[in-house]
Structure 1
Amino acid sequence: MPILPPNDPRQYDELAGEWWRPDGAFAILHWLAEARGRLVPPAARPGAILVDIGCGGGLLTPHVAGKGYRHVGFDLTRSALDQAAAHGLTPVRADAGALPLADGCADVVVAGEILEHVPDLPRAVAEACRVLRPGGLLVLDTLNSTALSRLVAVRLAERIRGVPRGLHDPALFVDPRVLGRECARHGVRLAIRGVRPTVPAVVGWLAGLGRGRGRIVPTWSAAILYQGRGIKGGHSDGGG
């Protein structure tokens, strides 16, 4: 099997069997999806649309089910989109920097654990904000561009519990100050907070005893992992 370069989307085809294993290599993605879902309120209008950028296997779906949205997911990996569709998401194969959507069509835009994978951050942020309607909600989480984040997410995480080496390119990790400025350029004032998994969850996962019980909680430092939440400015007729 050829060795793929860091951050190559084809790695996710090789990991297709991991998406819905809550105690597998993607365990923390389950925990992050649940935390992301807690930031999404019930839809405020009929026909509300939730755009899920970098949806992967659709891990957000159970955490927004019943909130009244049409959940549309975008990803480059066909094997992941197939699994997302099986869990009730409307899948579309597309790049985060070129969403095939009309301006202002989305009530909520979610970008979970994707911005640290995009080669052109300003373009991806511009697209996320473009498709968001005025008054709509942007929710995201990503990895900070610090030495500590690179140590934890690359040097440590990619050497344990089946997380493959090269899944991330640390050169793409995202400075929250840069992300905040990019969002502000497009009318979204982003509030950022650090988050982390609970210690028992990490210990249990490392020991192979996680069984999906992990949880993400706020923390004082955004040096490794952080969430962002913001409302797009402008007139709103009650969406999102």
Structure 2
Amino acid sequence: MPDAPTRERNDPGQYDDLAPHWWDPHGPFAMLHWLAAARGALVPPPARGTTPLLVDLGCGAGLLAPHVAGYRHVGVDLTTSALTQAAGHGVRPVRGDVTRVPLRSGCADVVAAGEILEHVTDLDAAVDEACRLLRPGGLLVIDTLAATALARLVAVTLAEKVRGVPTGIHDPDLFVDRDRLRRACARHGVELTLWGIRPSVRDLVARAAGRRLTVRMVRVPTSAVLFQAVGRKVG
């Protein structure tokens, strides 16, 4: 697996360094494909005759796009090289910081924040923006890494050692406190339901043997490493 040149942890420039690998199912972003599929499964199909708006915060190269057909898909990201690829997959690109999104309040039927909250230095500001964008009744979909010693071990120490993720892509000091996340969302009338997920071991074995290309994410009893969360904004 290619690694980015040596940079500070969580440096956004790593995504430019690794830009050719976004859509490679065998590449350093393979797990992001699996997570995008799991995230998309939480988004209900649009009602007949409607084209609701989905705002994809930290959209990267648009990996969510194949899983949210029927939505007007707006992707927000800071990395121009990733946005260019997202546009090629039907995403309307918006260059912006997820803590200061240049879109109007209440515009979104769905806001997806997938694998982005563990990269922001101001969690409350990112949550404020995600909830601001939601219309009443709109759905917030999140997946991220928990602020625990176990997550540091699994998602950084072990993952980087076995080359499951690019070295330095995460700063574990930014991993997300689950109670803080719940409180931040609740201030905006979004009550989160939260659960843990991990890759299917059976699928990982089949992929290693060349019998599968993708790996399903499955629910687990603990949310102490990788977790999903969903909630609707009250009117």
Instruction: Name the TM-score, length of structure 2 as normaliser.
Output: 0.93
Deviation of 1:211 (Å): 5.2
Q: Which residue of 2 aligns with 1:238?
A: none
SS in 2 for 1:108: strand
Tell me, in whole angstroms, the C-alpha distance in 2 between the residues paired with 1:155 and 1:204: 24
Alpha carbons of structure 1 residues 3 and 23: separation in structure 2 relative to 1, 3 Å: closer
Where does the alignment leave 5 or more consecutive residues of structure 1 unmatched?
Answer: 235-240
- Structure 1, 21-30 or 183-192: larger mean CA deviation: 21-30
**Does the 8 Å CA contact 1:51/1:71 hold for their aligned counterparts?**
yes
- RCO higher in 1 or 2 (8 Å CA, sep ≥ 6)? 1
Q: Which residue of 2 aligns with 1:153?
A: 155
> 2:224 matched to 1:220?
no
Q: Which residue of 2 aligns with 1:63?
A: 67
Q: Which residue of 1 aligns with 2:176?
A: 174
SS in 1 for 2:191: strand
Deviation of 1:27 (Å): 1.2
**Does the 8 Å CA contact 1:6/1:168 hold for their aligned counterparts?**
yes
Query: What amino acid maps onto 1:128 in structure 2?
Result: A
| Equivalenced residues, count | 231
Tell me, in whole angstroms, the C-alpha distance in 2 between the residues paired with 1:210 and 1:13: 31
- 1:26-65 → structure 2 map (5 Å cutoff): 26-44=29-47, 46-65=50-69
For residue 101 of structure 1, the aligned residue among 103, 116, 138 is: 103
For residue 127 of structure 1, the aligned residue among 105, 126, 129 is: 129
**Does the 8 Å CA contact 1:27/1:212 hold for their aligned counterparts?**
no
- 1:4-15 → structure 2 map (5 Å cutoff): 4-15=7-18
Alpha carbons of structure 1 residues 2 and 17: separation in structure 2 relative to 1, 3 Å: closer
Tell me, in whole angstroms, the C-alpha distance in 1 between the residues paired with 2:186 and 2:31: 29
Where does the alignment leave 5 or more consecutive residues of structure 2 unmatched?
Answer: none
Measured on the aligned residues, the alpha-carbon RMSD in Å equals 1.7
For residue 200 of structure 1, the aligned residue among 187, 202, 220 is: 202
Q: Which residue of 1 aligns with 2:231?
A: 230
> 2:2 matched to 1:3?
no
Residues 169-219 of structure 1: per-residue CA shift (max 9 Å, x gap): 0000001111001000111000001111101333455x4847532000111
